[in-house]
Amino acid sequence: MRNSLFETLKQDIKRLPGLPGVYRFFDEADQILYVGKARDLKKRVSSYFQRTALSPRIERMVGRIARYETTVTRTESEALILENNLIKELAPPFNILFRDDKSYPYVMLTGHQFPRLSSYRGKVDRRNRYFGPFPNSSAVRNSVQILQKVFRLRTCEDTVFKNRTRPCLLHQIHRCSAPCVGMLTAGQYASDVNQATRFLEGDHGQVLSELEREMLLHSDALDFEMAAVIRDRIADLSSVLQQQSMDTVADGEGDVDILAAAELEGMICVNLAMVRGGRHLGDRTYFPKNLRSAAGELPSSVEILEAFIQQHYLDGEASDTKLMPSVIVLSHAISSGEEQSLLQDSLNAQAGKKITFLHQPQGQRRHWLGMAEGNAKIALAKRLVETGGQLAKARALLDVLGLDVEGVEQLRVECFDISHTSGEATQASCVVYAKNEMQSSEYRRFNINDITPGDDYAAMRQVLQRRYASYQEIPPDKMPQLILIDGGKGQVEMARQVFAELGMDLGLIVGVAKGEARKVGLESLIFADGRPSLDLGRESAALMLIAQIRDEAHRFAITGMRAKRAKARTVSRLEEIEGIGAKRRQALLARFGGLRGVSNASMEELATVDGISLTLAEQIYQQLH
């Protein structure tokens, strides 16, 4: 029967046109097997049924084909783009898949009269200016901090900027020039923005030279205060360039992506290194799906790179107009001149500029490629040991949420919970998960005051404002990649407002909303940055870790609230006892080391305190018990 079907398919293929297009193979259950493109549909599809030597991977696929579909396109480039879209949509088991749901972060300067500096994720538009993309959020945060320190651009939301009446804390610590209150003119601020833009574009030497000239001009005009400000900027900028040694050897490189593929023990990794404006911004690793498990032997590194280039750059976020690099350095040459030409033509058409593929680079690019190859091997080694137990949960969390973390050991999560008893003794907790375990020494409790009793939203706003008011000063290794909020849409909205006011990345916030009957495993994850909510299900390893962290925050908040409530009630009961004034109360607390000691003391022990008779000691004892 299989032979009969095979012959029928061969006869059908003879009627296919010799035109460019896309073909799709299906099995007997009508499940998609493979999506491919062709310059000539008839020749390409018929090649699968010629009974010539096929690779084990392709033989296995052909043995399952029950039918096929084709779509004719006008050009090969259209076929390539359609193939890419279908692979992403249908996820065929015999195609190499790079499922990367992570959005790339950018440095953004808004189109405001006084442009706001911030990190940004999502589709770019013409109203603002974007620089990047960056490989991860820490690279963006580092760049924003550099620009704040050197050029003092504002990071506050426009609504905050519009309503300021006096400079904020950032101005006081020399991270903002306070254009909101007229501390400098629009022209002066525009000059700072221009220099920051050119720094991001790689014009480091020219920016330094201009700053030096400005400093001398102010000095000659006896404006020594302004000269000192510019002198400090020069020192800060020089320090940054010295610390980032790759900047000093990459002048004129512009925008370059470096792609390196590596294989280890049946696992393949693609390492993408990004250079923007001559600055090496860091790496991002990708692990393709549908390799040995579904398709027999491992595909070659060349096949892996071809699949990555197609899925990463064509009609994806990384393909946004001028933000695409001009040069792509490859660890392995594309398999054929025809394939390379098709990819290049498609990328050129989409980017509106020439994209160059470069194999066996020289000079600085060779150095970058060597680093990318080394990082790919390191990432593979880490991935191989990240199996089982807590590591598996952390890895699942990174994958599900698309967190920008190089490895599970770098993952840092902070979780907040609010606890009170009918509005009494409100307390917030913050627990920390890092280095693959809970870090109890870094837990913090916050007494919540000056709110309406029982207002959990106001309590959440207060604790987040207090925790992250000076987030720019948080060391990079202490900055969380994920902030969990125990609560639903209301609590998440409060967190979103606070982070928007502070200029923080909204993508950090994830609310953990309780499911039906508050059962573990039915929680929904709610995102502050507009992503749809996510239900992971009972079997999700990622949700297990989230629930573990959430429950620890709840436990820590409950114990703190109960202690605070007990303390408040004990003090209240001491004050209610006739004959116990401030001096006697202070003497009792001093003798027994606090409220708990007073409560645990016997009548005889209470009577040993100066001013406390046996009768009064008995009253105290009865009041507290």
pLDDT at 322: 53
Contact between 305 and 270 under an 8 Å Cβ cutoff? The reply is yes
**Torsion angle, alpha carbons of 314, 315, 319, 320, to 10:** 160
Which positions ≥6 away from 320 have C-beta within 8 Å?
Answer: 123, 124, 130
Q: What torsion, rounded to 10 degrees, do the Cα atoms 512, 515, 520, 524 define?
A: -40
Structure confidence at residue 320 (pLDDT)? 56
- Bridge partners, 273 (sequence order): 258, 283
- Within 228-313, strands assigned E span 256-264, 267-276, 279-286
- Spell out the alpha helix ranges (H) of 483-529: 489-502
Distance between CA 70 and CA 86 in Å, rounded?
Answer: 12
DSSP three-state, residue 460:
helix
**H, E, C per residue of 353-390:** CCCEEEECCCHHHHHHHHHHHHHHHHHHHHHHHCCCHH
Sign of CA dihedral 536, 537, 543, 549: positive
| Mean of all residue pLDDT scores within the chain | 80
What is the 3-state secondary structure of 537-581? Answer: CCCCHHHHHHHHHHHHHHHHHHHHHHHHHHHHHHHHHHHHCCCCC
Residue ranges of E strands in 400-477: 412-421, 424-434, 437-438, 444-447
Cis peptide before 135 (omega within 30 of 0): no
Q: Whole-angstrom Cα distance, residue 376 to residue 395?
A: 17
- What residues form DSSP beta bridges with 139? none
Q: How far is residue 83's CA from residue 85's CA, in Å, rounded to a whole number?
A: 6
**Residue 44, Cβ neighbours under 10 Å: how many?**
19
| Helices 76-90 & 301-313 angle (0-180, nearest 10) | 90
Picking from 453, 522, 514, 515, the residue whose alpha carbon sits closest to that of residue 485 is: 514
For residue 306, give every residue at least 6 positions away whose Cβ sits within 8 Å of its Cβ, in sequence order, or none: 334, 335, 339, 343
Contacting residues for 285 by C-beta, under 8 A, at least 6 apart:
269, 270, 271, 272, 375, 376, 379, 406
310: nearest Cα among 84, 92, 20, 24: 84
Q: How far is CA 355 from CA 215, 272, 338, 339, 349, in A?
A: 40, 16, 16, 14, 10
In order of 3, 185, 212, 235, 532, the CA distances from 220 in angstroms are 92, 22, 12, 20, 59
Please list the ranges in the chain whose pLDDT falls under 70.
Answer: 1-3, 51-56, 99-103, 202, 204-205, 236-253, 290-297, 315-323, 335-340, 385-389, 420-425, 516-521, 560-579, 593-596, 625
The string of pLDDT tens digits covering residues 45-88 is 888 877 666 666 777 788 888 888 888 888 887 888 888 888 87
CB atoms near residue 292 (< 10 Å): 13
Contact 489, 481 (CB under 8 A): no
φ/ψ (deg, to 5) at 233 = -65, -45
What pLDDT is stored for residue 498 in this prediction? Answer: 93
Identify whether the C-beta of residue 444 lies closer than 8 Å to the C-beta of residue 480: no
Q: How far is CA 184 from the centre of its chain?
A: 34
